[in-house]
Amino acid sequence: MPYLDIKTRACLLGMQQAGLSFRNISNFNCIPLTTVYDTIIKYQQLGTTQTQKKSGRPTKLTDRDRQELSQIITQECRLTLAQVTNLMTKVLSTQTIQCKIHKLGNHSCIAPKKPYLRPQDFQRHLGFAQAHCHWAKVIWTAQLAFKLGKQVNWVRVWRTASKKWNLENLAVNHQSGQQLVMIWGAFCGLSRSTITFLNGRMNATELVRQVYQPSLQPFVEHMEKAPWIRGPQCLLLMEDNAPIHTVMWSKQWRE
């Protein structure tokens, strides 16, 4: 609703008391019909055209303060709440700062852990993804090792929900050669297979018994029914060149 000074409100009220309709008053003064209606109804309820005082105390942060707060958490998203409070020009409590950060749409979230990538790796990965974005008929498989019992250091960042995967909001995870728990999974297009936990030392026989038969085969049968797949001959299976994938026993089973 546009702001109206006291004289304009009094003019609207006088025209209404003179018998003009709300629409005629709106057209004559070039003011939205809802504004005219709200102004007159408020006068009938309160008996005055003056703006009433707001309930409660005014906010401590001005627009300039909110802009300063937004810049701080955007430039240094890994600061703690106490550090953000100390960087503010105006003296405020941490509870007030936290409340205003939430109103800006930012929350303290745990940074997702992703493998470390160099700048040139980003360009290579992006180029590959853009060149092969039409690959929706390829079943991608991978095995991944997880460490158990290590100390987990959570990194918290201030961010909005839409910036979860921004580079500055990620916690770099350097991979290690230690392997304790191995899992296998696959995806094709927007579909994902079930996660399979691998037990013991893996060879071609164990790969067929633990992965291909209980997990890969049902997933392939499920993908054959996808609307963009026309029969099993249209599906491609993508695996790495690990020895258990290239030996004759594994090849014969896949064929």
Q: Which residues contact 109 (CB under 8 A, 6 or more apart)?
A: 156, 157, 158, 159, 164, 169
Q: What is the pTM of this model?
A: 0.46
pLDDT bucket at 233, cuts 50 / 70 / 90: low
pLDDT at 176 (0 to 100): 56
pLDDT 10s digits, 182-228: 899 999 888 899 999 988 888 888 888 898 889 988 998 888 887 77
Q: For residue 72, is pLDDT > 90?
A: yes
Predicted pLDDT at 161: 87
* Count of Cβ atoms closer than 10 Å to residue 133 Cβ: 8
